[in-house]
Structure 1
Amino acid sequence: MTLADHPTTTPPPATYGAVLGSRHVLRLLGGTLTGRLPNGMVPVGLVLWITGGGGSLAFAGLLAALYGLASGLSQPVKGRLMDRYGQTRVSAPAVLLNSGCLAALPWIGAGGHPAVVTAVVGFAGLVTAPLESGLRALWPTVVPDLGQRRVVQALDTGSQGLLYIAGPLLASWLATAHGPDTALTATAALGLVGTVIVLTAAPSRTWRPATTDGAAGSGRLIGAGLVLLCTALAGTGFALGAMTVWAAGMASTHGLAMLSGVLPAAFSTGSFLGGLIYARRTWPGTTTTQLITTSALFLAGWVPLLAQPEPRTAIALVVVPGLFLTLIITNGFHTVDSLAPASRTTEAYAWLILSVGTGQAAGTALAGALAERPYALAGLPAAGAATSLAILTLARRKLGPGRRPGRHRRPRQTQHPNSPVLEGDSRMAVVGKSGYQKLWNGPPSHEDPRTSLGSQSA
């Protein structure tokens, strides 16, 4: 009996309804977004908690920065551990420790010893659950069809910007209506609930790291291509960090405090819309071409803002660079797929996340130092975008597909003895009574399909 004796299953179309209706997708997206809400809530919650208890704004800002920095710096370590031991054994203790620390802060009190408060906040940041990189590692298993995976990854990236709209608003409302202690407790609970939703889903429970020569988490990770990619996307992060301070500067210049929140919200809205538009159709060119093109458009979007437009115009214009942020990040992750060994993709994703976060912190710091120079402040996002584009352009040859990347290990599935096994990019067919023969979907390609999205039909 051969594969031809059985009907071929046509993959469902790559529409939003089909993708979100796929098994586990909505649960994993919703759980990850809920579990990562603390990333947007903790900074605001800490500031309101410290200042509400009579502490200084400077100390509150230090704590908020420490939490974000500790969380970012620990991402690659947690990614490496997940590649070795799986998701449950890393994220479960991490979220318990993180939520425990955040819930302990109201008990310690805002007036507690500064060293104790600082230590607890810093440790809480170090043990944040690595949900973002973990979710990226799950998509090849959950959504094996490349067209659908492109849609879900764009939705994943685009929706992340909403965390930094909903998170601060929710933390502010809870602190105002029920007190800062309640806001921190609720933040801890949301992180715990979201992570539990993800970890109890079958894909996360059964996911196991791919292996190289029998060792999970092995294989050479750091190469010139990955280093250049991370450096380039640090420039993108720099633009994001500078944008938040520029928004505050616009609010001060025009005497409209709401601009400090509305401008980042408009940018994040553009990012979400960009993800929706990107996922609707197939785009030409390789992933490297798309990455460079969208980076150029991202830079072009910042140029009109150099003229310091009036508030309404600025709100409309800032949506434009936001449209291309999701495309840059999504294509950045696709590029990681082609550069990193399959046994260490989670760690590679974490390095990319860290690079964007580090660039964001640098952009915020430099923009704060130039806050009294409006025109210099307005030029910083464009400078970060230009740096990113320049590095990507120079590194183009090192970002392209140089070899076929390894595959993620799929959970073992029970198959009927007379049925073909369809898994990932390969098929198994029964050949008489002698066993199974592996049949590839097509002839070998010089370019991995994950790095040439334009060749796939949505």
Structure 2
Amino acid sequence: MTISPLLHRPRRRPAPAPSRYRDVLALPNVTRLLAGAVIGHLPVAMAPLAILIAVRADGGSLRLAGILAAVYGLAAAIGQPLWGRLLDRHGHRVAIGVTALASTTAFLALAFLSPAGHPAPAAVIAAAAGLCTPPLEAALRVLWPHVVESPQHRRAALALDACAQELVFIGGPLLVLGLDAVTGTVLVLTATAAIGLGGAALFLSAPPTRTWQPAPTRTRWLGPIRVPGLRALAAALFGAGITLGALNVVALAAGERHHAGYLSTMIPAALAVGSLTGGLLFGRRTWPGSPARQLLLIGAGFLLGSLPMLADPAPTLAIAAAVLPGLFLAPLLVTGFHALDVLVPRSTLAEASAWLIACLGLGQAAGTALAGLVPSTAPAGTAAVAAAGAALGLFLLLVTRRHLTLQTPKGVGCESAEPLTGSR
């Protein structure tokens, strides 16, 4: 008797159903955690513009305003790994409570100081406000495995997280401009302080921040940055940050060159809209291939998306072109943060997440500085800095891809490792 060969074929598991964001948002505490993280993170997007407005209103130079805003941004990036380690060791209430109070105090001091008359104290206070930025992104990142159990839903939660941060950078500057028009400069910085404190309080009011306990482990001095895979991801995000920082200068230069001042805000907004769209589409399903392959493909798309700006397109086309790299930005962040689940021990997840956030911010500062050195008469030069940052990120992913071959390290549970390969 002959048995049909069809009987010997292995049964394929059905592909996981696409995650619905409303299912994730319906889970207990998800909405509160997301809202608290978004509101508490608004000062990061509000402060640079608020500082610029405050200095100019006080009669200070544009140079001083730019220096103080840069000091704030650099300090905010540098402080994140420090607070991430504090969070890993002592939990959310200590790390977020202490930093939120310190940052709020610094913003209030800056609001009632004359920055033009006291530039040195203003720089110290701006640095303190940035350095004490609460590690809300890292704090939310370590809670997702405890709040969202399904691997598919966890990926969707990460996408919602990344997209929510885009809303921060769209809404933050608009909020500053609206507050300045209605209330005046002093109240803008005061409102920045109040918003940050309110967001941190809302985040800490969620039950998971009280029930989550740090893992009892000893951390070496270098912490998770010793892990080659984390260094690879951090370096790649530094390159992506260069692109983002340079595109801000591209937008400003394009607005001056085409006598279209709206481009300085519309191009960054289009980039954020692209990232919001790409993140929502990417997070709806589990994609095939290893994380290293996914990161390479997304990095290549990010590079290709940055190239049209080299042609110095007309204003309308420039806005449309800015959407293209944005489509790959949130997927790059989602995949990178998702990979941390099995690249680093769970006891250092907050600090590892903070390193990625810090390197992205440092890259933005470097990209802005490098593009600012290019003469305004060379439009392709600033766009070339943006493209070079994306190329650097892709190159670093390519040469370090073997470190992104994920194996569960000691201290990481198998529930964290499941969703990364796209198949079980």
Q: CA–CA distance in 1 between the matches of 2:63 and 2:72? A: 14
Deviation at 1:301, TM superposition (A): 1.0
Amino acid at match of 1:337: D
SS at match of 1:284: coil
Instruction: Tell me if the contact between 2:102 and 2:129 (Cα under 8 Å) persists in the aligned partners.
Output: yes
Q: CA–CA distance in 2 between the matches of 1:65 and 1:218? A: 28
Identity %: 43
Deviation at 1:162, TM superposition (A): 2.0
Is residue 362 of structure 2 the alignment partner of residue 358 of structure 1? Answer: yes
Q: CA–CA distance in 2 between the matches of 1:400 and 1:83? A: 25
Is residue 414 of structure 2 the alignment partner of residue 455 of structure 1? Answer: no
Q: CA–CA distance in 2 between the matches of 1:109 and 1:220? A: 40
SS at match of 2:149: coil
Amino acid at match of 2:78: L
Structure 1 residue corresponding to 2:56, chosen from 51, 64, 78 = 51
Could you say if the C-alpha distance between residues 371 and 41 of structure 1 is closer, same or farther in structure 2, counting changes exceeding 3 Å?
A: farther
Deviation at 1:113, TM superposition (A): 2.1
Aligned partner of 1:244 in structure 2 is 248
Aligned partner of 1:105 in structure 2 is 110
Is residue 216 of structure 2 the alignment partner of residue 223 of structure 1? Answer: no
Is residue 255 of structure 2 the alignment partner of residue 286 of structure 1? Answer: no
Deviation at 1:383, TM superposition (A): 1.0
Instruction: Map residues 401-412 of structure 1 onto 2, 5 A cutoff.
Output: 401-404=406-409, 406-407=411-412
Q: Deviations over 1:378-403 (max 9, x none)?
A: 21211111111111111111111133
Aligned partner of 2:9 in structure 1 is none
Aligned partner of 1:253 in structure 2 is 257
Instruction: Tell me if the contact between 2:341 and 2:417 (Cα under 8 Å) persists in the aligned partners.
Output: no
Could you say if the C-alpha distance between residues 27 and 13 of structure 1 is closer, same or farther in structure 2, counting changes exceeding 3 Å?
A: farther
Could you say if the C-alpha distance between residues 343 and 219 of structure 1 is closer, same or farther in structure 2, counting changes exceeding 3 Å?
A: farther
Instruction: Tell me if the contact between 2:303 and 2:391 (Cα under 8 Å) persists in the aligned partners.
Output: yes
Instruction: Map residues 197-236 of structure 1 onto 2, 5 A cutoff.
Output: 197-212=202-217, 215=218, 221=224, 222-236=226-240
Is residue 121 of structure 2 the alignment partner of residue 116 of structure 1? Answer: yes
Deviation at 1:33, TM superposition (A): 0.4
SS at match of 1:343: helix
Amino acid at match of 2:294: Q
Is residue 325 of structure 2 the alignment partner of residue 321 of structure 1? Answer: yes
Q: Deviations over 1:32-56 (max 9, x none)?
A: 0000000111111111111111111
Instruction: Tell me if the contact between 2:32 and 2:203 (Cα under 8 Å) persists in the aligned partners.
Output: yes
Range that drifts further, 243-252 or 281-290:
281-290
Amino acid at match of 2:380: Y
TM-score when normalising by structure 1 = 0.85
Could you say if the C-alpha distance between residues 177 and 56 of structure 1 is closer, same or farther in structure 2, counting changes exceeding 3 Å?
A: same
Deviation at 1:371, TM superposition (A): 4.1
Q: CA–CA distance in 1 between the matches of 2:341 and 2:220? A: 15
Instruction: Tell me if the contact between 2:229 and 2:403 (Cα under 8 Å) persists in the aligned partners.
Output: yes
Instruction: Map residues 89-238 of structure 1 onto 2, 5 A cutoff.
Output: 89-212=94-217, 215=218, 221=224, 222-238=226-242
Which is higher, the Rg of structure 1 or of structure 2?
1
Amino acid at match of 2:342: S
Q: CA–CA distance in 2 between the matches of 1:371 and 1:158? A: 34
Q: CA–CA distance in 1 between the matches of 2:410 and 2:181? A: 50
Amino acid at match of 2:63: A
SS at match of 1:150: helix
Instruction: Tell me if the contact between 1:337 and 1:405 (Cα under 8 Å) persists in the aligned partners.
Output: no
Structure 1 residue corresponding to 2:350, chosen from 334, 339, 346 = 346
Aligned partner of 1:431 in structure 2 is none
Q: CA–CA distance in 2 between the matches of 1:360 and 1:164? A: 13
Deviation at 1:225, TM superposition (A): 2.2
Segments of structure 2 that go 5 or more residues without pairing to the other structure are 1-15
Instruction: Tell me if the contact between 2:337 and 2:353 (Cα under 8 Å) persists in the aligned partners.
Output: yes
Q: CA–CA distance in 2 between the matches of 1:13 and 1:234? A: 31
Aligned partner of 2:10 in structure 1 is none
Q: CA–CA distance in 1 between the matches of 2:324 and 2:261? A: 22
The structure in which a higher percent of residues are helix is 2
Amino acid at match of 1:455: S
Instruction: Tell me if the contact between 2:170 and 2:269 (Cα under 8 Å) persists in the aligned partners.
Output: yes
Could you say if the C-alpha distance between residues 274 and 405 of structure 1 is closer, same or farther in structure 2, counting changes exceeding 3 Å?
A: farther
Instruction: Map residues 324-335 of structure 1 onto 2, 5 A cutoff.
Output: 324-335=328-339
Deviation at 1:315, TM superposition (A): 1.1
SS at match of 1:71: helix
Amino acid at match of 2:103: N
Aligned partner of 1:393 in structure 2 is 398
Q: CA–CA distance in 1 between the matches of 2:76 and 2:358? A: 9
Could you say if the C-alpha distance between residues 218 and 381 of structure 1 is closer, same or farther in structure 2, counting changes exceeding 3 Å?
A: closer
Instruction: Tell me if the contact between 1:338 and 1:405 (Cα under 8 Å) persists in the aligned partners.
Output: no
Amino acid at match of 2:122: V
Q: CA–CA distance in 1 between the matches of 2:305 and 2:126? A: 37
SS at match of 1:108: coil
Aligned partner of 2:274 in structure 1 is 270
For the aligned residue pairs, the C-alpha RMSD in angstroms reads 2.0
Q: CA–CA distance in 1 between the matches of 2:213 and 2:220? A: 10
